[in-house]
Structure 1
C-alpha cells in the first residue's frame, strides 16, 4: 500500500503547489481527504475548474465548484456546487445540473443531484438545507427563509423539503414550510402561516396547516385557519381556532371543535360549510349550525344554537336543547332533559326520564310526566296536564280540562277551570273547586273544602263532612266589620245553609210589636172575659126563663103556684110562677127566677084569654 498523508499535511502541500501555479494573490485550497502519494500527479489536477474567488479562506472542490464570497470562509464541495454567502457551506455535486447551493451568510446546503436535477439550496442567512435530488429533474431540499431548516431530498417526481419562511422548518420529502416560523414534518406535509405571526405546524404524511399558529398533526390531517388544530389521522379543522382531534373528525368554522371519532362540527352534515363555534365531542356526533353542541354518542345538534348531550340525544330545530340518552328536542327553543325525554313544540320543556312536553309552551317535569296542552304544566312523576293552560303538580296528578289545576298526589281536575288541591282530590265540574284530601266537587261552580267534603250540586259549597266541628274564632272581629242590616242564617237537615229575612233589627221590631200586642191582648182579654160573663149570664138567663115557666091552670081552679129549676149550658136557675083565674075566659099569670151562679134575676107576667 502506498503511504498516505494526513489531511492537514496535504492541505499544506496543496497550498505550496497552488501558490506556485496561480497568479500572485490568488489562492486555492484543496479538500482532499486522502490521496495516494504522488506529488507530480496531484499538483497537475488540484484546480479542476474550481473557483475560490481569490479568497484564501474559501474552499472550492469539484468541477465548476464555486466559493466566491469576499468575506471568506465559504466551502463548496462537489461538481457545480456553490457557496457564496460568507461562512457558507455547500456539499454535493451535480453531473450536469445544479449541485448544492449555499447562498446565505452562514448557510449550509448538503445534497447534490444526479443528471439535470437541482441539489440542496440554502438561500438565506443561517439557512440549512439537507437532502439532494434523487432523480434527474428533481429538486433537493430548499431553505430560503432566514435561519430556516429544510431536511429531505426529492424523490421520484416530488420536490425535496422546502423551508421558505424565516425560522421555518421543513423535514421530509415534498414538505413545505411557507411562512415565518412554520414547521412541516412528514412526506407531503404543508405549513403556511401567512400574515404577521405565522408559526403554522404540520406533522405527518400529507398533513396540512394553513394559518397563523395552525397545527396539523397526523397523516392527511388539515388545520386551515389561524390557531386551528387538527390532531390524528384524517382530521380536518377549518376556521380560526377550529379544533379536530381523534379519528377522523371535521371541525369547520371559527372556533369549531370536533374531538373523538367520526364527529362533525360544521354547517352541514358533510362538513362542507362553516358553522362558527360548533362543538362535537365523542363518537359519531353532529353539531350542525353556529354555536351548536353535540356531545356523547350519535347525538345530533341540527341547527344554530342547538345542544344535544347524551347517547342518541337529538336537538333538531332552532336553539333546541336535549340532555340525556335518547332525549329529543324538536320544537324550536325547546328543552328535553332526561333519558327518553321529549320536547316536541316551540318553547316546550321536558325534564325527567320519559317526560313529554308536546304542545306550545308546555312544561313536563318528572319521570313519565306529560304536558300535551298549550301552555300546560305537569310536575311530578306520572303527572299529566293535557288541557290547554292546565297545571298538574304532584305524583300521578291529572289536569285534563282547559285551564284546570290539580295539586297533590293523585288529584284530578277534569273540566274547564276546575281546581283540585289535596291528595286524591277531585274537581269534575266546570269551574268547580275541591280542596282537601279526598274532597270531591262534581257540580258546576261547586266548591268542596275539607277532607272528604263533597259538593255534588251546581253552585254548592260544602265544608267538611257530617263529623266536622266548626270553629270560627274570628267572629267577634267579623261582627265588628259588618256594615248595614244583618239577617239570620238558616240550615236544613242536610246541612244546607240559607239566609232568613229576619235579623237582629227585625227581632227588635218584633219585640216592640209584641209589647204592643200584649197590651192589645190584655184589653182584648178583658173584653173576652166580659163577653164570657155576658155569655154565661145569657146562658143563665135561658136557665131562668126555663125556671119561671108555668103549666096550665086547671079548669076548676082559680089560683095556682108552681116552682121550677132551669139549666142551660152549665148555668142553673130557680124560679116560681103564679096563676089567677079572673073569670071563665081570663087567666092572669106571673113568674120570677134567680140564677144560681151569677145571680141574675128574671121575671114575667102575662094573661091568657080563652073562649
Structure 2
C-alpha cells in the first residue's frame, strides 16, 4: 500500500521527535505486502514519487530510494537500506544489513545480527556489536564503541570516549584517546594506555605496558609483568615491581617503593617513605630520605636536620636504624638517632662495624659501639655504655665514661681507664697504666708495666708490683703487698697482713702491723719490727722469754742435729772449746731455720700468685654468668616488645615499634607486616637489647580462610 506523508512530518520522524506521521488515510497495498510512503517534496500539497521499495511482510520504506527488503524491516531516509529480518535503518544512506540490526544516522552501518550503529558513518560490523558516535567502529561479538571515532576491535571489547580504542578480546577503554590493546586490558582516562594482557591503566596518560601490569595515576607507567604503579608520575619498571606514591620509582625486578618520591632501584629492594631510596639487591630503606645503597642493606629512620639523607646504609649488608643513623661499610650496623642535632645519628663506618645508641660511633672494621655517644675507633674495638670509648685495636670499654686506649686493653666500670697496651681496669674510677697492668676494684690503680692492684683503693706503682686488698700499696719494683693497708715500698719487698709495712729492699713483713725497715730484714708476727739490715724478728719470742721460769740453760745440738737443753748448774762442766763448738752448731741451726723461713716465704709468694690467678678466674666466670643472665633477660624483654602490626582493611603495609622491660633489662624492636594476598600476610621483626647489644629477629606468616 502507499501512504502520503507530509515532508515536515518525515523530517520530525528522522530527528526522533516522532515515529511516524500519516498525511492521508488512503493506503495502497503492494504486491509484496510491504508499505511505502509518498512525500510532498515540493510543498504543493501533492505527494511526489520517491521510488521507495518495501519488500516483505510489515516492511516499511520511507525516503528517496529507500529500501526495506525483509520481514518487519524499516528503512527511513534517502537511500536508506534495511535488508535483514527486523532490521531498521534511519538516516540518509544508512544501512542495516543483518537480522534485527539497527542503523541511526547518515551512513550508519550495522552489519551483524542485533547490532546497533548510531551516528554518522558509525559501523557495527559483527553480531551484537554496538557503535555509537560519528565514525565509530565496533568489530567483534558484543563489542561496544561509544564516542567520536571510537573503535572496539574484538569480541566483548568496549571503547567509550572520543578516539578511544579497544583492540584485544574483552578489552575496555574509557576516556578521550584512551587505548586498551590486549586481551582483557582496561584503560580509563585521557590518553590512558593498557597494552598488556589483563593490564590496567587509570589516569591521564597512564601507561600499563605489559601483561598483568597496573598503572593508576596521571602519567604513571607500569612496565613489567605484574608491575604496579600508583600515583602521579609513579613508575614501576620491572617484573613484579611496585611503586605507590607521587613520583615514586621501582626499577628492579620485585622492587617496592612506597611514598612520595620513594625510589627502589635494585632487585627485590624496598623503599618506604618520602625520598626513601634503595640501590642494593634486597635492600630496605624506611623513613624520610632513608637510603640503603648496598646489597642487603637496611636503613630505617628519618631525616631530622633537613640534610641529604635520613638513615643511611652505604654498603653491602649494612644496617642503619634511627634518625640520621649511618652504616658506611660492609656489614656495618648502626642503631641510634641524632641526639645532638649535628646531622649524624649512630655511625658505623667499618666492615662489620656496629653502632647502637644516640650518636654512637663505630669507625673501624669489626668495631662495636653500644650506648649513647659511645665511640669505638680501633679495629675490633668494643664499647658498651654511655660515652664509653675504645680507641685502639681490640680494646674493650664497658660502662659510662669507661676508656680503653691501649691495644687489647679492657676497661670495665664508671670512668674506668685502661691507658696502655694489654692493660685491664675493672671498677669505678680504676686506672691501669702500663703494659699488662691490672687494676681491679673501686679507684684501684696499677701504674707500671706488669703491675697488679686488686681491691678498693689499692695501688701498685712499681714495675711488676702486686697489691691485693683494700687500700694496699706496692710502691716499688716487684714488691708485694697483701692485706688491708699493707704497704710494700722496698724493691722486691713483701708485706702480708693488715697495715704490714716492708720498706727495706728485699725485706719481709708478715703479720698485722709488722714492720721490716732494713734491707733484707724479716719481721714476723703481730707488731714485729725489724729496723736493721738483715735483722730477723719474730714477735712471739719476746712473749715466750717473759714466760720462762726456773734456771736458764743453753739450747744444744749434737752432730745429728738433735736439739737438747743444758741447764745453768752444769755450765762449768763444759770446756771452752766445747762451748765454742756448741755455739757454732747453734748458729748453723739458726741459719738452716732462716733458710727454711725464706723457702716458706717463697712458697707463700707462689701461693699468693696462685690465689690471684684463681681470683681472676672467678671474676671471669662471674662476669660470664652475669652477662648470660642479662642477655637472657634482654631476650625476654625483646620478646615482650616484638609485636607485629595489624593490617586494617584496605591497607597493605604496617610498621610498628616497641620497647620491652624485664629483669632490669630493656630492649627495642621494629616489626613490619605486608599483605601478600586477600587472606594472607607475612611479617618480620628485629630487636636489640639496649644493655648487651644482642640482636634478635623473627619472621612469620598468616593465612586465614
Give deviations 1:39-90, integer Å, cap 9, x for gaps: xxxxxx956323322x231122333322223xx1111122332211210011
Report how many aligned residue pairs link the two structures.
448
Separation (CA, whole Å) in 2 of partners of 1:502 and 1:429: 41
State whether residues 424 and 436 of structure 2, in contact with CA within 8 Å, keep that contact through their aligned partners in structure 1. Answer: yes
Partner of 1:192: 237
**Deviation for aligned residue 1:240:** 2.6
Give deviations 1:494-537, integer Å, cap 9, x for gaps: 7699xxx996754449999xxxx99998xxxxxxxxxxxxxxxx
Instruction: Tell me: CA distance 1:241–1:22, structure 2 relative to 1, closer, same or farther (3 Å).
Output: same
Partner of 1:557: none
Q: Which of these residues, 254, 257, 265, is aligned with residue 298 of structure 2? A: 257
Partner of 1:569: none
1:278 is the counterpart of 2:318: yes
State whether residues 29 and 59 of structure 1, in contact with CA within 8 Å, keep that contact through their aligned partners in structure 2. Answer: no
Instruction: Tell me: CA distance 1:222–1:65, structure 2 relative to 1, closer, same or farther (3 Å).
Output: same
Separation (CA, whole Å) in 2 of partners of 1:362 and 1:207: 50
Q: Which of these residues, 260, 280, 293, is aligned with residue 239 of structure 1? A: 280
Partner of 1:48: 120
**Deviation for aligned residue 1:13:** 6.6
Separation (CA, whole Å) in 2 of partners of 1:269 and 1:288: 13
State whether residues 230 and 245 of structure 2, in contact with CA within 8 Å, keep that contact through their aligned partners in structure 1. Answer: yes
Instruction: Tell me: CA distance 1:419–1:466, structure 2 relative to 1, closer, same or farther (3 Å).
Output: closer
Instruction: Tell me: CA distance 1:31–1:226, structure 2 relative to 1, closer, same or farther (3 Å).
Output: farther
Give deviations 1:310-350, integer Å, cap 9, x for gaps: 22211111121111121111111101211111111111111
1:437 is the counterpart of 2:484: yes
1:126 is the counterpart of 2:184: yes
Alignment of 1:134-283 (within 5 A): 140-153=191-204, 160-194=205-239, 198=240, 200-262=241-303, 274-283=314-323
1:74 is the counterpart of 2:119: no
Partner of 1:425: 472
Alignment of 1:341-490 (within 5 A): 341-465=388-512
Instruction: Tell me: CA distance 1:73–1:416, structure 2 relative to 1, closer, same or farther (3 Å).
Output: same
Separation (CA, whole Å) in 1 of partners of 2:564 and 2:418: 62
State whether residues 262 and 285 of structure 1, in contact with CA within 8 Å, keep that contact through their aligned partners in structure 2. Answer: no
Separation (CA, whole Å) in 1 of partners of 2:367 and 2:440: 25
**Deviation for aligned residue 1:225:** 2.3
Give deviations 1:14-42, integer Å, cap 9, x for gaps: 8633399648548754589xxxxxxxxxx
Structure 2: stretches of 5+ with no match in the other structure: 1-11, 20-71, 76-85, 106-116, 338-344, 515-522, 527-533, 542-554, 576-705
Instruction: Tell me: CA distance 1:24–1:76, structure 2 relative to 1, closer, same or farther (3 Å).
Output: closer
Separation (CA, whole Å) in 1 of partners of 2:96 and 2:17: 29
State whether residues 313 and 320 of structure 2, in contact with CA within 8 Å, keep that contact through their aligned partners in structure 1. Answer: no
State whether residues 189 and 205 of structure 1, in contact with CA within 8 Å, keep that contact through their aligned partners in structure 2. Answer: yes
Instruction: Tell me: CA distance 1:168–1:4, structure 2 relative to 1, closer, same or farther (3 Å).
Output: farther
1:104 is the counterpart of 2:155: no
Separation (CA, whole Å) in 1 of partners of 2:409 and 2:312: 36
Structure 2 length-normalised TM: 0.58
Instruction: Tell me: CA distance 1:507–1:59, structure 2 relative to 1, closer, same or farther (3 Å).
Output: closer
What secondary structure does 2:124 align onto?
coil
Structure 1: stretches of 5+ with no match in the other structure: 33-44, 94-98, 113-118, 133-139, 154-159, 472-489, 522-611
State whether residues 254 and 275 of structure 1, in contact with CA within 8 Å, keep that contact through their aligned partners in structure 2. Answer: yes
Separation (CA, whole Å) in 1 of partners of 2:318 and 2:475: 50
Separation (CA, whole Å) in 2 of partners of 1:5 and 1:413: 121
Name the stretch that deviates more: 297-306 or 347-356: 297-306
| Root-mean-square deviation over aligned CA pairs | 3.7
Separation (CA, whole Å) in 2 of partners of 1:366 and 1:324: 14
Partner of 2:580: none
**Deviation for aligned residue 1:295:** 1.9
Instruction: Tell me: CA distance 1:424–1:272, structure 2 relative to 1, closer, same or farther (3 Å).
Output: closer
Q: Which runs of structure 1 show a deviation greater than 4 angstroms over 4 or more consecutive aligned residues?
A: 1-6, 11-15, 23-28, 268-274, 466-471, 490-497, 501-512, 517-521
State whether residues 325 and 334 of structure 2, in contact with CA within 8 Å, keep that contact through their aligned partners in structure 1. Answer: yes
Partner of 1:314: 361
Separation (CA, whole Å) in 2 of partners of 1:496 and 1:31: 138
Partner of 1:528: none
Structure 1 length-normalised TM: 0.66
